[in-house]
Amino acid sequence: MCSTCGCGHSDIITITRIGDEDNHEHMILNSNRNYSHQHHHEGVHDHAHGHSHEKTMVSDHHHAVQPHQTIVDLEMDILHKNDLLASRNRGYFEALQVLALNLVSSPGSGKTSLLERTLTDLGAEFNSFVIEGDQQSSNDANRIAETQVPVVQINTGKACHLDAQMVQKAYKQLSIVNQSLLFIENVGNLVCPAMFDLGETARVVIISVTEGDDKPVKYPDMFHSSDICIINKIDLLPYVQFEVEKLKEYALRVNPDLSFFETSATTGQGMDNWYEWLRTQQQNL
């Protein structure tokens, strides 16, 4: 149930701009339709039709009455709708020269803390925007709002990942400006978000040293689809059995193109390299 307006739908997704909670939007899981009440809503449906050929099994051309079947050789990607919307998102980000990052990890890797520190430290240098994805609650978005950065919370309800359509609806509430940074914090889940392109410029997987250093081979899809791997909470290395080199070795087996950063959002250690990367990527857009 939506905690703001009280509407109840089991598969509902809620998109809320923090500071403007009355004007939130609902959509139904995996649907073209927007489920909305008195709030604004566009009725634009995005259908993409695959290229298909058909042949009819009926040899009788004398019309109607006989039962017949049509074979449609569709050859269509099941995720084509998401991929199409992701391409549109990507085009929008490119046109605005926005560096859009999809941050993925297990719950508890320190994504939000890393983001808070980044937004605070780079506050004077960049305009930043945040989309927060969680199944429930606005806790993370409220933390981000403390940094004075515009933030939209997506509550996915039962869905275990963000998709391109949710992100599109979220950034429409953000009024993103040219040459800014957009951080999309995905739902904490190292499996499902791997399949869904959001149109991001780069995907950043975050792992903390309190997790196992063999995570890349346990959850290879996420490491395979990411561009950057941030190893967070390195201030805790003396207290845990985690070998950074072993993690890197495993991760590179899955994805030889991964680049790494070692950070502590708590102490600030290693954050400068991450910031330098952000600057370079933003300049190269």
Partner 1 sequence: MHELTIVLNIFEIAGNQLKEHQGNKIDAIELEIGLLAGIEMEAFHFAWNAALPGSVLEDCSLKINPVEAEARCRHCHLEYDVSSLYDACPGCGSFRSELIRGKDLRIQSLVIS
Q: How far apart are CA 207 and CA 107, in angstroms?
A: 10
Q: How far apart are CA 179 and CA 130, in angstroms?
A: 14
Structural tokens at position 268: 């600030």
Structural tokens at position 144: 């981000």
Q: Does 81 bind partner 1 (CB under 8 A)?
A: yes
Q: Does 196 bind partner 1 (CB under 8 A)?
A: yes
101 Cβ neighbours under 8 A, 6+ residues apart: 181, 182, 183, 184, 200, 201, 202, 203, 204
Orientation angle between helical segments 80-95 and 164-172, nearest 10 degrees: 40
Site track 109-148 with partner 1 (rule: CB under 8 A), x = hit? ----------------------------------------
Helix (H, G, I), strand (E, B) or coil at 122: coil
Q: Does 33 bind partner 1 (CB under 8 A)?
A: no
CB of 222 to partner 1, least distance (A): 9
Candidates 14, 16, 82, 105: give the one binding partner 1 (CB under 8 A): 82
CB of 20 to partner 1, least distance (A): 29
Cβ atoms of 259 and 278 closer than 8 Å:
no
Q: Does 73 bind partner 1 (CB under 8 A)?
A: yes
CB of 216 to partner 1, least distance (A): 8
Q: Does 192 bind partner 1 (CB under 8 A)?
A: yes
Q: Which is nearer to partner 1, 130 or 187 (CB)?
A: 187
Candidates 44, 78, 95, 124: give the one binding partner 1 (CB under 8 A): 78
Q: Does 159 bind partner 1 (CB under 8 A)?
A: yes
Compute how many residues bind partner 1; rule: CB under 8 A.
Answer: 46
Q: How many CA atoms lie within 13 A of 19 on its CB side?
A: 11
Q: How far apart are CA 88 and CA 204, in angstroms?
A: 20
- Output the CA angle 266-268-270, nearest 5 degrees: 125
Binding interface with partner 1 (CB under 8 A): 29-32, 47, 49-50, 52, 54, 67-82, 159-161, 163, 191-192, 194-196, 216-217, 220-221, 223-224, 250, 252-256
